Amino acid sequence: AIILSGVVALTLTPALCAMILRNTHGKPKKATALDKFLNGFNNGFNRLSGKYQKALGLIVNRRAVTFGLLIVFCIGIYFLNGSVPAGFIPNEDQGMFYAIIQTPPGSSLERTNQVAERLQKIAEGIEGVQSVSSLAGYEILTEGTGSNSGTCLINLKSWEDRKNSVQDVITELEKKSQDVTGATIEFFQPPAVPGYGAAGGFELRLLDKAGSGDFKKMETVSRDFVSELSKRAELSSVFTFYSASFPQYMLHIDNDIAKQKGVTLDNAMSTLSTLIGSNYETNFIKYDRQYKVMVQALPEYRALPEDVMKLYVKNDRDEMVPFSAFMRMDKVYGLSEITRHNMYNASEISGAAAPGYSSGEAINAINEVAEKTLPRGFGIDWAGISKDEVGRGNEAFYIFLICLGFVYLILAAQYESFILPLAVIFSLPAGIFGSFLMLKICGLENNIYAQVALVMLIGLLGKNAVLIVEFAVQKHRAGEPVLKAAMEGAAVRFRPILMTSFAFIAGLIPLVLASGPGKIGNRTIGSAAAGGMLFGTIFGVLIIPGLYYVFGKISEKFVLIKDEEENPLTEEIDHNV
């Protein structure tokens, strides 16, 4: 867009000016309503320009005023940066959300399906819900399967057909589903970026770094940690489905006795797997239809856990040996599946930032709780989009510095001076302060959208400063003193700066007032850009002439490179000097 606008400004705009503008000097103007409005506007703007020039006469040559304002803005940026919530990518209303169902360990698939169908009927009666799909035996959060887990996918109507947001629907569904007993139900939105984890909000892993292998202790620590997290005001909907209470049977095989019986461990387990779990062998065709041959013990021989001990396996002498001859079975409790993260036994914990808090504040709260409450040998690690947010650190700050560095080098090449570009660079804090102040007023967070707006402001506000400094440099080279050149440059460029800046701000108003899908991102980037442009323009036209006066005086006294000239290279080419 910037490249295209530059091409248009250099090619089509001059042609349009030649076509539209007419020489009306000395000709009487028609007394139309438009002419009267334009004359009134011009007269009012001329009065404003006169007041502006008087104000410049009072502050341009006063270094204390110029740098005093800069210091105030820098202090304001420091405090606002600490008070504006930090974030990464905000969760938007995507028109759907998930419900995860967990019945007690060992529950049958039928019981889980009953809970899922009941939740489905409740959700279908809520205003704004378009359709609900339920699935028992599958849990979308960890993509795991189990008879005690289920998932409901709730699709909402389009924004035009509903008044409530996805968070409103979730809150209402949480209240109405409290009567559903015998199951734990958690609701969450899809991730902000598809593929970055399975859910919106934060994802973390509780790690058993000591490698104890004690799953029961891991369950206790995990539930205590979730309980402590739920007490923090910054967090909401914190949950974990880690459980070491699934009823299981542990098979103990006496290998010495098995060898005496002529049974190998591999053969015994393979036979048991076939008899209990079935095994596909071959196909056959009958009546033009293909059938699969599945080998498995009849249902009456595998109805009860004790029936396992009554099954037989063939030994190396083609004799049938009962499993009870070399194996015993104990009832135990354990995990339905073992989850590992970086080779550590791990418990997955999910949740979201509470309303009014950012994801950055939620992450800080989790780190504080983990440091205070986790016992020795346990730690946390992040997953999904939370891992990128934590790993990003102060990356945005360094990117901002790199952008400033490029701007400075380009301006140094244009002015052939290492001093004059500082007048442009030091004019930016006013705009940055305005961005943070607008975010604070609107209750938005400093996320990736706000940082894009800040990078964009470097170019836009720098352009305003370049307009003034460029003209002042030309006037100074023509023989004008630095003070007079600064004031004339500001006075001449005052109108184009205000017109372009306020036109840009007017274009941002729809983003600032955005609603519907993507409104948080639109409001963030619109508010940050509009606030920065407003403050940067109003205070910039007062600070930039004073900055040029300061650095122009320094540039006169100190030559940093041999044969340095402060007039731009473009002026040398245009005037053949």
Instruction: Report the top-level CATH class of 96-245+340-392.
Output: alpha beta
**DSSP states along 223-252:** HHHHHHHHTSTTEEEEEE---S-EEEEEEE
pLDDT tens-digit profile, the chain (577 residues)? 778 888 888 888 888 888 887 777 667 766 778 777 878 888 888 888 888 888 888 888 888 888 999 999 999 998 988 888 888 888 888 888 888 888 888 888 899 999 999 999 999 888 888 999 888 888 887 777 888 889 999 999 888 888 888 888 888 988 888 888 888 888 888 887 777 767 778 889 999 998 888 888 999 999 999 999 999 998 988 888 888 888 888 999 999 999 999 999 999 999 999 999 899 989 999 888 999 999 999 999 988 888 999 999 999 998 999 999 999 999 988 888 888 888 899 998 888 888 878 888 889 999 999 999 999 999 999 888 888 888 876 677 788 888 888 888 888 887 778 888 888 999 999 999 999 999 999 888 888 888 889 888 888 888 888 888 888 888 888 888 888 888 888 888 888 899 989 999 999 999 998 887 778 888 999 999 999 999 999 999 999 999 988 888 888 776 555 555 555 555 555 555 4
| pLDDT recorded at residue 509 | 92
Q: How many CB atoms lie within 10 A of CB 39?
A: 12
pLDDT digits (tens, 9 = 90+) for 264-305: 999 999 999 999 989 998 999 988 899 999 999 999 998 888
CA 30 to chain centroid, in Å, comes to 56
Contacts of 186 (CB under 8 A, 6+ apart): 99, 100, 102, 237, 239, 350
Edge to edge, what strands does the sheet with 144-156 contain? 129-139, 144-156, 96-102, 184-188
Tell me the three state secondary structure of residue 150.
strand
| pLDDT recorded at residue 565 | 57
Report DSSP state, residue 104: P
User: Any idea which architecture 246-334 has in CATH?
Assistant: 2-Layer Sandwich (3.30)
Alpha-carbon distances of 213 from 323, 341, 348, rounded to whole Å: 29, 14, 16
| pLDDT recorded at residue 417 | 80
pLDDT digits (tens, 9 = 90+) for 197-250: 677 788 899 999 988 888 889 999 999 999 999 999 989 888 888 888 888 889
| pLDDT recorded at residue 559 | 57
For the chain, give every domain's residue range.
47-84+394-575, 96-245+340-392, 246-334
Q: How many CB atoms lie within 10 A of CB 495?
A: 14
- Single out the residue of 179, 184, 324 nearest to residue 245, CA to CA: 184
- Single out the residue of 394, 431, 424, 390 nearest to residue 407, CA to CA: 424
What pTM was estimated for this model as a whole? 0.75
Superfamily of domain 47-84+394-575: Multidrug efflux transporter AcrB transmembrane domain (1.20.1640.10)
Q: In the chain, what is the greatest distance between 2 CA atoms, to the nearest angstrom? A: 122
SS3 letters across 521-562: HHHHHHHHHHHHHHHHHHHHHHHHHHHHHHHHHHHHHCCCCC
| pLDDT recorded at residue 378 | 92
| pLDDT recorded at residue 571 | 54
**Nearest-angstrom CA–CA distance, 294 and 529:** 67
| pLDDT recorded at residue 2 | 76
